[in-house]
Amino acid sequence: MAARARWSWFVVLALFLLLLAGPAHGQSPKPKVRAITAFIRLEPSHYQQQVADTLKMLRAAKAEYQRAGYEVESVRITTQPFPQYIKGMTDVAALAWFRAYDELSLKETFDANIGPAMLSDNDDPHPAELLASVLSETKNLEASIIVAGEDGVHWQAVRAAARVIKHVEEHSPHSQGNFNFTATAMLAPYGPFYPGSYHVGAGHQFSVGLESANVVDTVLAATPGNHAVALQRLTQELSRHAKDCEHIAQRIERHTGWTYAGLDPTPAPLGKVSIGAAIEKFSGTRFGSSGTLAAAAMITQAVRSVPVKQIGYVGLMVPVLEDERLAERWGQGAYTIDSLLAYSAVCGTGLDTVPLPGDVSEEQLERILGDVASLAYRWRKPLSARLQPVAGKKPGERTEFDDPFLTNAVLQPLP
């Protein structure tokens, strides 16, 4: 009896030590689920009921992930391109409708994407002009313009996107409205990440995006400078979490009748959960120095090896203002727009939340967007440009964004 009692205490002590140790050696902590995104074909005449039905599915999906130990950051609803459902409305009526939809999204705590203002270069550019007003006058609505596709670079759309960015810079509080807008190139439908998410189908699908920069950080911190070992371990860890999340998505599909469109394993960072810091731990030098591009390529190779139904960017997210270390290095001048474009050639999502001086001209914005679109089309890969010029701010001054998802940074001169 005494021997059994002593053995029981040993078991209890061992279990206690395991709990203190956290995840097993070589295993990373769980990522967050950044987004569960539903795709609907919205009808303005009964959109409230459509949203209510969609939120029922999204909240059930969120609960399913939470039961499995995953924190869910947001649930999202993406519509078909908004020019399709405001057809026949005056601009005044359309703006009033978008304000009401924005209020509903805030009340019901979901992120709302109204789709691209322009899908092709032959589209009427007027919806882009309307979008500039929508983004300036609402808080939660997000949208895009597609500036390159299989048919090439959409130069009229590039010019329209530059006009949107400049208008929103000048007309939204803190020039912050551009956080909700992106120009996308070669991005397929049904991606979960905003603002580029869109679809052109019948709806009733959903996709999932992960915030797994913490996984990358854990692996790269344990394998500094060793590309082969880091690639193997990172592929293993990203796959482990992605497959688990996909199994949950498949259960949701069976239980709700909504079609699972895929998972974007791009390791999104946010704030202190930094992809920039992870790369620095691996390379042994600050982000932007030699070795950054090789690390970015290795991470992307691991991401693309994840054996799930992939959708979206499937690369490496380097959002300057959403990542504290990236924002810090930007302010130090450690890397530039050209650096980000170079990294995008081997990975990346393009130019994401890049802060710019307020005197950037529309023509300069066109050239930047044209570079992103050309690179995406040349390499047949999805890229986007979410540019954040700040009215009245000059190089050397600090941004003053008022958003929990944005880190303020010192502005750098344009080359």
Q: Tell me the average confidence (pLDDT) per consecutive run of 10 residues in the chain, 415 residues long.
A: 42 37 62 98 97 98 98 98 97 98 98 98 97 98 98 98 98 96 98 98 97 97 97 98 98 98 96 97 97 96 97 96 98 97 89 98 98 97 97 97 95 93
Question: Do the strands 141-149 and 152-153 form a parallel or antiparallel pair, or are they unpaired?
Answer: antiparallel
Domains of the chain and CATH, by start: 32-185 (3.20.70.20), 211-245+271-390 (no CATH)
Could you tell me the two tokens for 233? 């371990």
Q: Give the position of tokens 């750098």.
A: 412
For the packed helices 362-379 and 337-344, what is the interaxial angle rounded to 10 degrees? Answer: 20
pLDDT value of residue 26 = 55
pLDDT value of residue 24 = 46
pTM given for the model: 0.92
